[in-house]
Structure 1
Amino acid sequence: MTPTFIAERFDVAGQPASIRPTGSGNVNDTYIAVFRTHFTEERIIIQRVNAHVFTNPGRIIAKMRRANSGGG
C-alpha cells in the first residue's frame, strides 16, 4: 500500500496534495500528508505501525480512541 492510498482513507477534507516521510523511525514509518481544498490546506501526520513489533495494531487504535474520548 502506498502512503497516498492510506491517506485517502482518513476523514480529511480535500485531496492529497503531497505525502512525504518525516524522517526515519526505529519502529514505525511516519509521513506528513497535505490535503487541499479550494480554500484550505490541512496537514496531518500518518503513521504506519510495524506489525512485527505490534502484533495487534487494532488494539493500539482502540486504546488511542478510548484515550482521546476520555474513556481511559
Structure 2
Amino acid sequence: MVLKVIGAVVVIWIGLMIVGSLFGALVNTISTLLTLTLIGAAAYFIYKAVSGGKNSTNSTNPDQYRF
C-alpha cells in the first residue's frame, strides 16, 4: 500500500514537471513573439512618422501650391 502511494506521488510529480516545462516553453515562445511584434510595430510607426506618408507638405509637386 505504501509503495502504491509513493508510486502515485512520483507519477504525479513527473507529470507536473512535464506540464510545467511545456507551459514554460509556451510562455517563452509567446513572449518572444510579442517582443518581435512590438519591435516591428514600433519600426513601422517610426518609418511612417519620418517618411511623412502620402499627405506630406514636403512634396515636390508644383500643383499643390495653386489656388
Question: Do the structures match in fold with TM over 0.5?
Answer: no
Bigger fraction of residues in strand: 1
Q: Relative contact order, CA 8 A, sep 6+: which one is greater?
A: 1
Q: Provide TM-score, normalisation by structure 1.
A: 0.22
Q: Provide TM-score, normalisation by structure 2.
A: 0.23
- Structure whose CA Rg is larger: 2
